[in-house]
Amino acid sequence: MRVLWLALGLIAAAIPAAWADSALLDEIIARGTLKVGMTGDYRPFSEKNKTSGAYEGLDVDMAEALAKALGVKMEIVPTAWGKMLADLEAGAFDIAVGGVSITLDRQKKAYFSTPLLRDGKTPIARCVDKERFAEIKDIDKPEVRVVVNPGGTNERFARANIKTAPIRVHPDNTTIFDEIVQGRADVMITDAVETRLQQKLRPELCALHPDKPFDFSEKAYMMRRDYALKLFVDQWLHQMRETGAYAKLFSKWVE
Task: Give the angle subtended at the CA of 140 by the CAs of 134 and 144, to the nearest 5°.
Answer: 90
The answer to whether the Cα torsion of 143, 148, 154, 157 is positive or negative is positive
Instruction: Tell me the sheet residues that pair with 55.
Output: 48
State the Cα–Cα distance between residues 41 and 109, nearest whole angstrom: 24
Considering only CA atoms, which of 86, 84, 82, 83 is closest in space to residue 97?
Answer: 84
Considering only CA atoms, which of 210, 197, 204 is closest in space to residue 255?
Answer: 197
CB neighbour list of residue 33: distance below 8 Å, 6 or more residues apart: 67, 72, 73, 74, 75
The distance of Cα 109 from the centroid of its chain, to the nearest Å, equals 16
Helix, strand, coil content of the chain in percent (nearest 5): 40, 20, 35
pLDDT, tens only, 34-84: 999 999 999 899 999 989 999 999 999 999 999 999 999 999 999 999 899
3-class secondary-structure state, position 191: strand
The answer to whether the Cα torsion of 103, 213, 119, 79 is positive or negative is positive
Tens place of pLDDT per residue across the chain (255 aa): 554 444 445 444 444 444 455 699 999 999 999 999 999 999 899 999 989 999 999 999 999 999 999 999 999 999 999 899 999 999 999 999 999 999 999 999 999 999 999 999 999 999 999 999 999 999 999 999 999 999 889 999 999 999 999 999 999 888 999 999 999 999 999 999 999 999 999 999 999 999 999 999 999 999 999 999 999 999 999 999 999 999 999 999 987
Is residue 143 within 8 Å of 187, Cβ to Cβ? no
Is residue 94 within 8 Å of 35, Cβ to Cβ? yes
Determine the longest span between alpha carbons in the chain, in angstroms.
Answer: 77
48 phi, psi to nearest 5 deg: -90, 120
3-class secondary-structure state, position 63: helix
Phi-psi label, residue 91: left if phi above 0, alpha if psi -120 to 50, beta otherwise: left
Phi-psi label, residue 32: left if phi above 0, alpha if psi -120 to 50, beta otherwise: left
